[in-house]
Amino acid sequence: SRNIRLAVIPGDGIGTEVVAEGLKVLEAVGTKIEQTHYDLGAARYHRTGETLPDAVLAELRGYDAILLGAIGDPSVPPGILERDLLLRLRFEFDHYVNLRPVKLFPGVETPLADTPAENIDMIVVREGTEGLYAGTGGTMRRGTPHEIATQESLNTAYGVERVVRYAFEKAKARPRKKLTLVHKTNVLTYAGDLWQRTVNRVAEEYPDVTTDYCHIDAASMFFVTQPERFDVVVTDNLFGDIITDLGAAIAGGIGLAASGNINPERITPSMFEPVHGSAPDIAGQGKADPTATILSVAMLLEHLGLHAEAAKVERAVADDIVERLAGWAGRSTHEIGDDITARVSG
Amino acid sequence: SRNIRLAVIPGDGIGTEVVAEGLKVLEAVGTKIEQTHYDLGAARYHRTGETLPDAVLAELRGYDAILLGAIGDPSVPPGILERDLLLRLRFEFDHYVNLRPVKLFPGVETPLADTPAENIDMIVVREGTEGLYAGTGGTMRRGTPHEIATQESLNTAYGVERVVRYAFEKAKARPRKKLTLVHKTNVLTYAGDLWQRTVNRVAEEYPDVTTDYCHIDAASMFFVTQPERFDVVVTDNLFGDIITDLGAAIAGGIGLAASGNINPERITPSMFEPVHGSAPDIAGQGKADPTATILSVAMLLEHLGLHAEAAKVERAVADDIVERLAGWAGRSTHEIGDDITARVSG
Ligand SMILES: CC(C)[C@H](C(=O)O)[C@@H](O)C(=O)O
Ligand SMILES: CC(C)[C@H](C(=O)O)[C@@H](O)C(=O)O
Q: For residue range A293-316, what is the model confidence (pLDDT) as tens digits?
A: 999 999 999 999 999 999 999 999
* CA-wise closest residue to B220 among B237, B209, B204, B233: B233
Residue A322 confidence (pLDDT): 86
Angstrom distance (rounded) from CA A77 to CA A79? 6
Cα separations in angstroms, B22 against A309, B62, B245, B298: 61, 21, 21, 9
B173 φ/ψ sector (left φ>0, alpha ψ -120 to 50, else beta): alpha
Do the Cβ atoms of B111 and A110 come within 8 Å?
no
DSSP at B85:
I
B156–A contact, CB cutoff 8 A:
yes
Range of the domain at B161: 110-121+130-251
Taking the CA of residue B2 and the nearest CA in chain A, the distance in Å comes to 39
B318–A contact, CB cutoff 8 A:
no
Residue B198 confidence (pLDDT): 98
Q: What residues have CB less than 8 Å from B329, skipping those under 6 apart?
A: none
Angstrom distance (rounded) from CA A172 to CA A62? 32
Ligand 1 neighbours, Cβ below 6 Å, are A 72, 82, 86-87, 241, 275; B 186-187, 217
Number of domains forming the structure of chain A? 1
- CA of A137 from ligand 1 middle (Å) equals 19
- Closest CB to A79: pick one of B79, B133, B189: B189
CA–centroid distance for A77 within its chain: 23
Angstrom distance (rounded) from CA A164 to CA A168? 6
| Residues of chain A positioned with their CB less than 8 A from the CB of B155 | 148-151
Q: How confident is the model at residue B1 (pLDDT cuts 50, 70, 90)?
A: low
Residues B87, A187: contact at Cβ < 8 Å?
A: yes
B148–A contact, CB cutoff 8 A:
yes
* CA-wise closest residue to B84 among B71, B94, B95, B74: B71
DSSP at A328:
I
DSSP at B31:
-
* CA-wise closest residue to B116 among B126, B124, B127, B108: B108
The pair phi, psi for residue B274, each rounded to 5°, is -65, 150
Do the Cβ atoms of A139 and B194 come within 8 Å?
yes
Residue B13 pLDDT exceeds 90: yes
- CA of B130 from ligand 2 middle (Å) equals 13
Residues B60 and B153 in one domain: no
- CA of B240 from ligand 1 middle (Å) equals 19
Do the Cβ atoms of B158 and A138 come within 8 Å?
no
Using the 3D structure, point to which of B212, B227, B251 is the last residue of a domain.
B251
Q: Is residue A272 part of a domain?
A: yes
Pocket test for ligand 2, best of B87, B95, B132 (most atoms within 8 A of CB): B87
Ligand 2 neighbours, Cβ below 6 Å, are A 186-187, 217; B 82, 86-87, 241, 275
Look at strands A148-156 and A137-140 and give their pairing.
Answer: antiparallel
Average model confidence (pLDDT) for chain B? 96
CA–centroid distance for B82 within its chain: 14
Taking the CA of residue B288 and the nearest CA in chain A, the distance in Å comes to 17
Residues A92, A298: contact at Cβ < 8 Å?
A: no
Do the Cβ atoms of B187 and A137 come within 8 Å?
no
Q: Is residue B50 part of a domain?
A: yes
The pair phi, psi for residue A24, each rounded to 5°, is -55, -45
Residues B225 and B114 in one domain: yes
Angstrom distance (rounded) from CA B337 to CA B24? 7
Residues B261 and B214 in one domain: no
Residues B240 and B277 in one domain: no
Residues B13 and B92 in one domain: yes
Range with lowest mean pLDDT among A234-238, A251-255, B61-65, B216-220:
A251-255
Q: Is residue B104 part of a domain?
A: no
User: What pLDDT, in 10s, does the model give residues B273-309?
Assistant: 999 999 999 999 999 999 999 999 999 999 999 999 9
Q: Is-above-0.85 flag for pTM?
A: yes
Q: What is the largest CA-CA distance in chain B?
A: 66
Do the Cβ atoms of A185 and B79 come within 8 Å?
yes
DSSP at B254:
G
Residues B271 and B319 in one domain: yes
Listed in order, strand segments (DSSP E) in A110-208 are: 121-127, 137-140, 148-156, 178-183
* CA-wise closest residue to A340 among A77, A71, A20: A20
Q: Is residue A114 part of a domain?
A: no
- CA of A216 from ligand 1 middle (Å) equals 18
> Which ligand does the CA of A276 lie closest to?
1
Residues B177 and B54 in one domain: no
Residue A166 pLDDT exceeds 60: yes
Residue A325 confidence (pLDDT): 75
- What strands, in cross-sheet order, belong to the sheet with B97-103? B33-37, B4-11, B65-70, B270-274, B258-262, B97-103, B121-127, B232-235, B178-183, B210-215
Burial class of residue A40, CB neighbours in 10 A (0-12, 13-18, 19+): buried
Q: Nearest residue on chain B to A237, judged by CA atoms?
A: B187
User: What pLDDT, in 10s, does the model give residues B234-265?
Assistant: 999 999 999 999 999 999 999 999 999 999 99
Residue A94 pLDDT exceeds 90: yes
Query: Measured from the CA of A71, which atom of ligand 1 is nearest?
Result: 1
Q: Is residue A40 part of a domain?
A: yes
CATH number at residue A5: 3.40.718.10
Residues B1 and B89 in one domain: yes
| Residues of chain B positioned with their CB less than 8 A from the CB of A253 | 225
- Kindly write down the DSSP assignment for every residue of B293-329, as one continuous string: HHHHHHHHHHHTT-HHHHHHHHHHHHHHHHHIIIIIT
Q: Nearest residue on chain B to A146, judged by CA atoms?
A: B157
The pair phi, psi for residue A338, each rounded to 5°, is -65, -45
Residues B239 and B115 in one domain: yes
Query: Measured from the CA of A215, which atom of ligand 2 is nearest?
Result: 9
Residue A304 confidence (pLDDT): 96
Q: Is residue A7 part of a domain?
A: yes
Residues A135, A87: contact at Cβ < 8 Å?
A: yes
Mean pLDDT of B4-15: 97
Q: How confident is the model at residue A88 (pLDDT cuts 50, 70, 90)?
A: very high
B166 assigned to active site: no
User: According to DSSP H, which parts of chain B are helical?
Assistant: 15-28, 42-48, 54-60, 80-81, 88-92, 157-172, 189-203, 216-225, 237-250, 291-303, 307-323, 333-345
Residues B246 and B138 in one domain: yes
Residues B10 and B67 in one domain: yes
Listed in order, strand segments (DSSP E) in A42-90 are: 65-70
Cα separations in angstroms, A191 against A236, A242, B140, B192: 10, 18, 11, 22
